[in-house]
Structure 1
Amino acid sequence: MIPFTSFDDFMDTARSFHGAATPGMMLAAFMTELALHSMGRTKHFHALCETDRDLPDAVQLLTPCTAGNGRLHVLDLGRFALTLFRTPGGKGVRVYLDLAKTAGWPHIRRWALQEPMADERSLVRLEREIRKAGIAVLSTASVQVRDAFLRETPPAPMIACISCGEPHPAHMGALCPACAGHSPYEPKLPAVIAPGSEFI
């Protein structure tokens, strides 16, 4: 978690970390702050993002929940919503962009519905609206997170893949998932040696 002195300070860091200071990152900052405020004084919580767009990066900058420490869960339901929940127990607060509250904020509403922006000026107006609206376009709800997100997963026993030799969880079988055909990479093509170029 990185401490920030101001919203602009956060947005400067967001540019470096996220690659751009997007409208989604701006809204996500307000959402995360509202969720943190609603949680009260506790350090024992996890985060659940219902989209993989913008929101997880803001959570990683503003809370101790990260992908690397296992406290950030991303379940892409396509909704711009965030839940912070206590561990153990699973009681939490869900913060979401409330479409009903965007009636007076036309650019935020267009962004929420993924309608294209007309030009660069529309984007500037959108950013102004987000700063002005702040938490006014957000709603909260108390939630109970399902047990599946509360269980600590113990480290799985590892074995060497019989094809590539790299360690992988034993329960996946003798072949690692990549060698079993689930690799994201194209297979390597055998090197072609031109006639007459063989080494003697």
Structure 2
Amino acid sequence: MGRWAPDTPGRLAKAALDLYSERGYEQTTVAEIAGRAGLTERTYFRHYADKREVLFAGSAALQEVFVAAVAGAPAGTGPLRAVAAGVDAAAGMFTDRRDFARKRHEVITANADLLERELIKLATLSAALSAALRERGVPDPAAAVAAETGVAVFKVGFERWVAPEEIRGLPELVYDTLETLTGMAAEGAEGARA
């Protein structure tokens, strides 16, 4: 494939993920990623700051979609329902990307530095959601609790979705996870009253 072919970032991401899966993250160089994609190292660095960031390029877009859905929830929507709208919008971004997501998840969970970066991404997302909820008039600690809950539900649903034998869709698994949480919260409220 020539250097002028479209979707340079996507080609680099696929090449990186393939190499990380084959050889390991630590053993793979940027030069090898660029070469596998049919590009130069210089081109790689036009798109990504380092070999780690190729795995996290979608973080900003995910956060933007999640936060926009929370901010755009109808007036009077409670904080958990607003966050559920964000979870739903975010889940929609992964349609037809399960194979890529599975490989990415395997690479990230096998490397402590990448796992740390993934957790930072989730903490940043939670802070952004909390800010969006506060802008809607939700006070703390409710804004922070709702944001953290939404991120946890999305994370658990996502991890279930990328499991090797899983065939259900991400939205279904996210809502199943949310229903599990709702049931647990109801149990907890009943137990506290008893």
Q: TM-score, normalised by structure 1?
A: 0.25
Structure with a larger share of its residues in helix: 2
Structure with a larger share of its residues in strand: 1
More relative contact order, 1 or 2 (CA 8 Å, 6+ apart): 2
Q: Return the index of the structure with the highest Cα Rg.
A: 1
Q: TM-score, normalised by structure 2?
A: 0.26
